[in-house]
Structure formats: structure tokens, C-alpha cells
Chain A
């Protein structure tokens, strides 16, 4: 009878252990967020909403506002995403649907390698190759040859380190992540879906458009969101090429700042309590921005997934 009544000890141990691990993730997230907000509270109390809306960051006079860094974070990441997504999806589609087996494995290896390069290496390359290239070759073409200097997007002097450089570098860095996840998502589409389309007389392209991509779309959105998350948090490489100027400019050629590079640049020198708290508050802001964008993305995925609507 007892063997019927009691579940084996191993089962219970396993259940307890996995439950504890799962809870520890939540606890970690809560404690981390709470600590950041507590450490940030002097700055938040001193400036209130002006911390978010203020454009001035003056450690000497103790005035802190992160608007330009929030702007730089969002714009550089959004631009990077806009540049990287079409390319990454094309790579994923080629790898999963078109490429022969031997080429596919080479491509996968190259993507994994790209993803494994440390960000400081990307930063060095950006600083010594990409920025000079942009300054000497690309920016003159944009401003003079194409005559875009009068438009707000390409106004002002072109030093090299700029929002454009940061966005390009970020695009290169997040491309392998988006492509790798998108490739897995496409590979997970059941072959029956492909065959169903082919059996109806679809060409390979029509099969992709009408059967594979719609089936995979929420996963593909997930891949893009993963790329966005990486772009938001990327610190080192961006710090090296964005110019680190606490200003908001519509021009892509002008330097900017991001929340992550702001923290990385100033943490060592933050001796005043308020300065320290302001950096913590910048961290909290980055956390919130990331959270908001992720929530928005999940909502989008949920919207397209909802059954019953056409």
C-alpha cells in the first residue's frame, strides 16, 4: 500500500530542486532591480521627472538629466535593427531554405564565429577601420556628392565618431544573433507545411511566402527582439565609436551618447553621492526602457498569434 501512496523520493527531490532554481531566477531579478532603484533614489528624489526629461549632465554642478542618452540608446538601436533585420532574415532564409548542405554548414560556422567575437574587438575595428572609412569616404559622399548636407539627417560637421558609426557597428554585431535564431525558427517549421504548399502547385518562393514565413512569424519577431535587446545593452563597442557627447541631434553624423556608455564612462570617477546615484538611475532607466520595449514586442507577438481573427 505504501508504494501506492507515496511518490518516490527522487521525484519529490527533483520537483523541489527545479522549483527552487526557477524561483531563484525571479528572486535574483527582483533583488537586482530593487538594489538599483534604492541606490538610484537620491537622484530620483532630487530631480524627479526632470531626470528623464533633462538634457543637461553636469557632474561638477550636480545637475543630471538623461534624455540625450535615452534618445541615443533608442535611436542607435532602432537604426541598427532597421539595417540588420532585412539582411539577417535574408541570410536565415538562404541558410534554411535555399543553400545546399555543405554551404549551409559553412554559413552556420561563420555566423557562430561572428557572434563569438568579443565586443571590444568590434569596437577596435569600428574605431580604426569603420570610423575613418566613414569620415574619409562615406560621409563626404553623403554630404557633398549627394548634397544631403542641407537635410537635418546629415547636417553638421562629420568628425567620424557618430550615431551613424554606432548604428552600423551595432547592426553588424546583432546580425549573427538575429540570423541564427531566425534560421532555427525556420528550420522548426514542419516539413508538412512546406509539402502542403508544394503539393498545391506553389513555387519555392510562393511556398516560403505563403506557408513558411507566416508559420514562423512570431518566432521571427522573437529573433528580432533578441537582436534589439542586445543592441540596447551593448556597451563597449558603442562607447568606442559613438562620440560620447551628451547632446540630442537629429543628424546621424553628429556624435551622441547611450545609457550604457554613459555608465561605463563615468562609473570610475563618480565620487559624489549624487553622481553615483545618477548613474544608478541611468541604469534603472536602461532597465525600464528594455522592459518596455520587450513588453511591447510581446504584445505585438500576442496580437498576431491570436486565433480566430483574419
Chain B
């Protein structure tokens, strides 16, 4: 263990990034799902995106790392700034963007034929980001940060199919963290999980602040209140309001936000 923690010092410190959307729009064919969203996500903080089902939360998230455009008939307009680079600029590679802005899906998507250990480093190997670095140390570090190490350290060679769904989701978070992303996007990461797993993932997200900028979509307002520093409210693809979480939940500036958080619709 002592050796492992010494190795971890070799892992370069994660630098958080300023992420901002500017006039961002997203389409599926002719249908506009996200309308003219301008928002800035504070580095090293957790921002929650809340809103009713079908309001474009997930699509907005998928635009932030250029995953949206891989869908059929999918198109994006506007800009997304990662520090001072527009990720939609013609000379920017979508693959390179996704290596810095990782995304974890709503349902766990471990690679079923790889072992737990291989899953964690799958992104690294695909990205050739850190060729043959001490993969063992990276694995342990990522699994520890995803609060999964103690549960799987004795069976790293097992297939992820042997894990519970909550463990699989934390494995996916570990897999994303292993690539040392500067921004971590989470798309309703606890939607399909039991309460105990939800709690573990919330604690883990809360603990990630300072080392990585987190943007998390959730339909659960209590969850947003528990883990996020700032909250954005999205309705019909439009950003209604974005503020410090405590402000938004206690003194919302927009009547639509107030109606939503007091449970009058959605």
C-alpha cells in the first residue's frame, strides 16, 4: 500500500477547466432540443442541471463534449469554451475534446468482455494518453476516487457483470476519472440505482470538487441540493435560470423556477 501511494504522487495533478456554453443550440433533424443556452460552469465546482423530463438536459450535456454530433441527424450550433478554446472550432478534434471532457451515461456501460481492471484503463489505452504508465497505480487511484477500491481490490480480474448495478456505475466513473479529465459530465448517474448506491455516488461527486469541474444532469432536486454548488434550471431547451444552489432553491428569480421546485409541474 505504501508503494501504491508513492506511485500516486507520479500521477499529474488534475487541472480543472473553465467550461462555458455560448449561444448553444442542438437539433435532431429539424427538431430543436436546446435553444440558445449561455452558461458558465465554475472550475472545480459541481453544477447541477435540473428540469422536467424531455427538457433537453441530457442533450445539452452531450453537446459539451461533442458527443451529441455522433447521433443520427444530430447537429449543434453555437460555441462551447474549454478555457480559451472553442471546442466547435473547425481545427479542433472532437476526439481530443472528449479526452478532456469525459461523460458518464445514465445507465452503467462497462465493457462486458473486459475485466474490472481493464475497464478502468480502457479509456487510457484507447486515448494513448499515458503510454504504459503505471497502469496498476492509475487503476487503484481511479477506483479509490470512485469509492469502489475496497469492494473490488480482491477481484480486479473479474468481469464487471459480477458487480451490482451501483458498483458498475462507479466503475464507469472510475473509467472516466482514469483518463484525468478536466471536466466530468454526469448524465443522471443515479437514475437506475438503489438508495445506498445513490448515496455513495453523491458522496463521490461531492468529493471530486477542486480536482475536476463537474456538470451533473439530474431530475432529482434533492440530489442537486445535496451535491451541487450551482444549479441551472432548463425548461423546453431554454436556460431559465442559473444561480448558486442555495439561492436557486430558496429565492428563485424566475416564477417558472419557483413553480418547478415547489412541485407545481414536472
Contact = CB atoms under 8 A, between A and B. Distances in A.
Interface of A: 190, 192-203, 206-207, 210-211, 214-215, 217, 304, 307-310
Interface in B72-124: 95-96, 98-100, 102-105, 107, 109, 111-115, 117-118, 122-123
A202 B126 contact: yes
Contacts of B162: 307-308
Contacts of B158: 307-308, 310
Contacts of A198: 67, 70, 98
A206 B179 CA distance: 15
Contacts of B95: 201-203
A201 B115 contact: no
Contact of B114 (A190, A200, A201, A214): A214
A231 B203 CA distance: 58
Nearest to B110: A196
Interface of B: 65, 67, 70, 95-96, 98-100, 102-105, 107, 109, 111-115, 117-118, 122-123, 125-127, 129, 157-159, 161-162, 172, 175-176, 179
Dominant SS among interface residues on chain A = helix
A215 B111 CA distance: 7
B85 to A, nearest CB: 16
- Report, nearest first, the 3 A-B pairs whose CB atoms are least far apart: A201-B99, A200-B123, A310-B115
A200 B176 contact: yes
Given A199-B65, A307-B159, A192 B123 contact: no
B65 A210 contact: no
Nearest to B98: A201
A194 B161 CA distance: 18
Nearest to A217: B113
B161 A307 contact: yes
A182 B126 CA distance: 24
Nearest to A207: B126
Nearest to A305: B113
Contacts of B179: 200-201
A308 B159 contact: yes
Contacts of A194: 70
Contacts of B107: 192
Contacts, number: 88
A249 B159 CA distance: 47
Nearest to A205: B126
Given A198-B98, A199-B103, A201-B99, 11 more contacts: A195-B105, A196-B109, A200-B122, A200-B179, A203-B95, A210-B122, A211-B111, A214-B111, A215-B111, A304-B113, A310-B159
A201 B123 contact: yes
Nearest to A211: B111
A157 B100 CA distance: 63
B102 A199 contact: yes
B126 A199 contact: no
A199 B100 CA distance: 10
A217 B114 CA distance: 12
A308 B99 CA distance: 29
B127 A202 contact: yes
Contacts of A307: 158-159, 161-162
A307 B115 CA distance: 9
A267 to B, nearest CB: 47
A192 B129 CA distance: 23
B48 to A, nearest CB: 19
A210 B102 contact: no
A289 to B, nearest CB: 31
B172 A196 contact: yes
Contacts of B98: 198-201
B127 A200 contact: yes
Contacts of B176: 199-200
A196 B105 contact: yes
Nearest to A209: B126
B80 to A, nearest CB: 15
Contacts of A304: 113
